[in-house]
Amino acid sequence: MSTVLRKDDGKPLRAAMQAADLSGPGLAAATKASDPRGIGISPAIIGRLTTTGKTARERCRRRTADLIAGALAVPLEQLFTPSVSTDTVERSSPDADSR
């Protein structure tokens, strides 16, 4: 599952929430209303993505970011950036067993 990184320690996300006049619980409710599954994002996850404290999270799932951006009516790229995948990183050398 792909992940994204919040931009600038969540500043654009907080600014978009303020512009939409939404609190964390309000944004969580808006994501639930716009989620085809009807699940949405919990207020706790919204809080972790918007805070700058010890519980702050830099990453989230792409689906989480899509629901947040959709609820705020803001392009995803304004709030989040794709994370670098390590799936293609070489993890061993071909002659590792020759020692």
pLDDT per residue over 1-10, tens digit each? 689 999 999 9
Domain ranges within the chain, ordered by starting residue: 3-78
Q: Is the pTM of this model over 0.85?
A: no
Half-sphere exposure of residue 7: CA atoms within 13 angstroms, side-chain side: 16
Could you tell me which residues are beta bridge partners of residue 5?
A: 59, 81
pLDDT in tens, 49-64: 999 989 999 999 999 9
Structure tokens at 70: 């959709």
For 10-46, the pLDDT digits (tens) are: 999 999 999 999 999 999 999 999 899 999 999 999 9
pLDDT on residue 92: 57
Tokens 């071909």 map to which residue? Answer: 94
Task: Provide the 3-class DSSP secondary structure of residue 43.
Answer: helix
pLDDT at 70 over 70: yes
